């Protein structure tokens, strides 16, 4: 598998663009992105589990239900959630893109992210639609513009692409995502758009997406909030020319492996870019009873406000880690647990068999000062192992969200 310097335009037949349309008054940045395939695609999507769903989410759930799509239009700045005339505006965005691309409206998916409750007036998008379509390109620059157009409080774009030979043909898979706050397992306030030129049936595409999402986007947390707009979509146009993957064989396994690599990269980047974050927290739970319990334990650690605050302060307060596992709901023997902190600066054992160890505080601080801090917990039960990702909790998180709307 080879990593490429691109994103959603890496796969054959996909173009992308981004423009500044002025969706949210006073916001001076790119805010509308477009992804389009030269041919109709098999498609699959996963969406927020929040009972309160934004209008674009409801529209996409219906649109993608037949497993077909060809384009995605998305805006940032205003979420079009719990907003006046929300569905009308989402459908208008869909129609504007369809008419400009010359395709059927039911082949266009829509995404929005930003402030909840504000009306999304689509006149500005209509005024910039021809500009947006005119800038569509299969160059990496198109993916870059689209990735930046869907950012809100993100400080860096999230964009990756890979290629691998499947079925005797070189298959490419790329993606962009946004997400910085309102991030919690079961997806967060994220938009993630993936494109591939692999030929694969819609049923297997959806199965692969669900399987991989559970191991990537559903294993990150920034602040414990699950958004109204979470959307993960993949389009597959088959232009790589590989034999269509219509059963779970070696080609399917290779595709799933590549898809998981892409989604883990995007998920890690979102966790690292958590609002105000200075550290990426990686928690690996080993030798748990089963995968579900290992995941539950690791999620509890990365979601713990006290653990997150300790990492921000570079304080090797391992008791907060053990405490977070203790209220996770998983049954285990605390007197068997070992805990270690690891980073590029080294590693240090801080707890053995549920009891504290004497350790070098200076070394511990150096380890915790690194950009990525790994918390390893050995449960000494069976063979299950799971890794989840989060970030530290800083003063800046409160500053960013204290006046987010205004």
Distances (CA, A) of 23 to 77, 123, 228, 281: 6, 9, 19, 34
The single residue of 48, 153, 189, 284 carrying the catalytic annotation is 189
The residues with which 194 forms a beta bridge, in sequence order, are 175, 234
Taking Cα atoms as reference points, which of 291, 255, 299 lies closest to residue 390?
299
Q: Which two tokens stand for residue 108?
A: 């266009």
Measured between alpha carbons, how far is 396 from 406 in angstroms, rounded to an integer?
A: 16
CA distance linking residue 233 with residue 252, whole number of Å: 18
Decide the pairing of beta strands 372-378 and 280-288.
parallel
The residues, ordered by sequence, that sit 6+ positions from 145 with a Cβ below 8 Å of its Cβ are 16, 17, 18, 19, 30, 33, 135
Is 137 part of the annotated catalytic residue set? no
Give the phi and the psi of residue 281 in degrees, each rounded to 5.
-105, 120
Region of 224 (left: φ > 0; alpha: ψ -120 to 50; beta: rest) is left
Q: Which residues are catalytic?
A: 189
């Amino acid at each position: 598998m080879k990593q490429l310097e691109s994103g959603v335009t890496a796969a054959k037949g996909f173009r992308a663009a981004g423009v500044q349309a002025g969706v949210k008054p006073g916001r001076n940045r790119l805010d509308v992105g477009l992804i389009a395939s030269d041919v109709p695609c098999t498609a699959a999507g996963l969406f927020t589990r929040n009972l309160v769903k934004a209008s674009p989410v409801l529209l996409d759930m219906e649109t993608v239900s037949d497993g077909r799509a060809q384009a995605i239009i998305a805006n940032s700045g205003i979420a079009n959630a719990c907003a006046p005339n929300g569905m009308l505006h989402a459908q208008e965005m869909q129609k504007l893109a369809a008419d400009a691309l010359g395709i059927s409206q039911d082949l266009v998916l829509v995404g929005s992210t930003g402030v909840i409750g504000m009306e999304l007036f689509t006149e500005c998008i209509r005024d910039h639609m021809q500009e947006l379509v005119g800038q569509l390109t299969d160059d990496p620059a198109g993916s870059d513009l689209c990735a930046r157009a869907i950012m809100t409080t993100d400080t860096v774009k999230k964009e990756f692409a890979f290629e691998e030979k499947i079925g005797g043909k070189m298959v490419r898979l790329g993606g962009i995502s946004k997400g910085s706050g309102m991030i919690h397992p079961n997806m967060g306030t994220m938009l993630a758009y993936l494109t591939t030129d692999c030929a694969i049936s819609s049923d297997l595409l959806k199965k692969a997406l669900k399987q991989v999402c559970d191991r990537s986007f559903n294993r990150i947390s920034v602040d414990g909030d699950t958004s109204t707009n979470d959307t993960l979509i993949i389009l597959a146009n088959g232009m790589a020319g590989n034999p269509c993957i219509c059963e779970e064989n070696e080609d399917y396994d290779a595709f799933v492996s590549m898809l998981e690599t892409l989604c883990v990269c995007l998920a890690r980047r979102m966790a690292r870019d958590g609002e105000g974050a200075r550290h990426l927290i990686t928690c690996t739970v080993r030798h748990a009873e089963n995968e579900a319990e290992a995941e539950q334990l690791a999620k509890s650690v990365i979601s713990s406000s006290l653990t997150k605050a300790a990492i921000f302060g570079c304080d090797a307060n391992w008791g907060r880690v053990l405490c977070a596992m203790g209220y996770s709901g998983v049954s285990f023997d605390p007197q068997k647990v070992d805990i270690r902190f690891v980073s590029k600066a080294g590693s240090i054992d801080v707890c053995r068999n549920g009891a504290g160890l004497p350790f070098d505080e200076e070394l511990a601080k150096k380890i915790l000062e690194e950009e990525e801090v790994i918390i390893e917990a050995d449960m000494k039960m069976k063979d299950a192992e799971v890794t989840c990702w989060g970030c530290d909790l800083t003063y800046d998180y409160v500053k960013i969200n204290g006046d987010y709307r205004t």
